[in-house]
Amino acid sequence: MNLQAEIPLDYMIMLSTIVFFVGLLGVIIRRNLISMLMGVELMLNAVNINFVAFNHYLFPHRLEGHFFRIDSDGHSSSRSRHCNSVNH
Amino acid sequence: MTGPKIIFFILAACIVVFSILSVTSRRILRAAIFLLFVLVAMAGLYYMMNFQFLAAVQLILYAGGIVVLIIFSILLTSQINSKLDPPKISHLIAGVTTAVGGIVLAAVTILQYTFRPTAESAIGTDMRTIGIQLLDTQITGYALPFEVISILLLAALVGSIFIARKHNT
């Protein structure tokens, strides 16, 4: 399946832009730690879409976006663990 | 409209609608479930881009781990029945202005720029290639970030135990 011909890279980046700023909206309008954590989670996942999309569309000969995304998994799980312990 | 395009638009609509619902919902447990739907739809996007390993990681780690952790902390702090306060008008205005302005600014910038893909042939994304590159110390390897991220996880574990312990001992 040739995804580049079907779906341009711009679609993916626009999608992740919208999700990122919706997450930012959530961080701004909520004053609850768990709600803010969910907003940050949305922003982080938007960035992950960007990593994977750039890897797939522009630089398919390396797996850099792939491993950046796996590393950001580690960041996000350590951060949510921290937030939960702060909350208790 | 072809098949992949239809699937992409369904997934994108799911992601956008549920992320907005997750941010605006005043019941926090529902917000967590909407976040779960967003994460599962993102796993579908990874499947579309042929990254099966990442889609599995997304389902296991985010849908199975982080959302469950969030739901646990909602239940343990017994906020399940309370509705969140409606946001202050000043916060709402600031947030919506920032979001809409940011989306417009980013969209204008992205649509003006032309991305140039590399001419080199694509590498496979099967488990064997991923495993070899993840633990390789050559120029294409990612052993050092792998180790650094494990140190970060250990530090987060120690830090969260230190924060969450009882203070009367």
SS (H, E, C) chain A: CCHHHHCCHHHHHHHHHHHHHHHHHHHHHCCCHHHHHHHHHHHHHHHHHHHHHHHHHCCCCCCHHHHHHHHHHHHHHHHHHHHHHHHC
ipTM of the complex: 0.89
Contact A66 B125 (CB under 8 A): yes
Per-residue pLDDT at B120: 78
Per-residue pLDDT at A2: 64
Contact B23 A25 (CB under 8 A): yes
B63 touches chain A (CB under 8 A): no
Q: Mutate which of B11, B19, B21, B91 to disrupt the A interface (most A C-beta within 10 Å)?
A: B19
Residue B38 has pLDDT above 80, yes or no: yes
**CA–CA separation, B70 vs B77, rounded Å?**
11
Least confident of B7-21, B29-43, B108-122: B108-122
| Closest residue in chain B to residue A69, using alpha carbons only | B54
Largest CA distance in chain B: 65
When pLDDT is averaged across residues A56-74 and rounded to a whole number, the result is 83
Residue B26 has pLDDT above 90, yes or no: no
**CA–CA separation, A4 vs B118, rounded Å?**
13
User: What letter does residue B114 receive in the DSSP assignment?
Assistant: P
Contact A34 B79 (CB under 8 A): yes
Work out the number of other CB atoms within 10 angstroms of the CB of residue A81: 20
Which of B42, B66, B122 lies at the smallest CB-CB distance from A76?
A: B66
**CA–CA separation, B65 vs B147, rounded Å?**
21
Contact B49 A53 (CB under 8 A): yes
- For A31-64, write each residue's pLDDT tens digit: 888 888 889 989 999 999 999 998 888 888 887 8
A67 touches chain B (CB under 8 A): yes
Phi, psi of B83 (to 5 degrees): -85, 145
> Cβ distance A46 to A16 under 8 Å?
yes
A8 touches chain B (CB under 8 A): no
Residue B148 has pLDDT above 70, yes or no: yes
Residue B168 has pLDDT above 70, yes or no: no
Which residues in chain A touch residue B103, judged by CB atoms under 8 angstroms apart?
A: 17-18, 21
Per-residue pLDDT at B100: 94
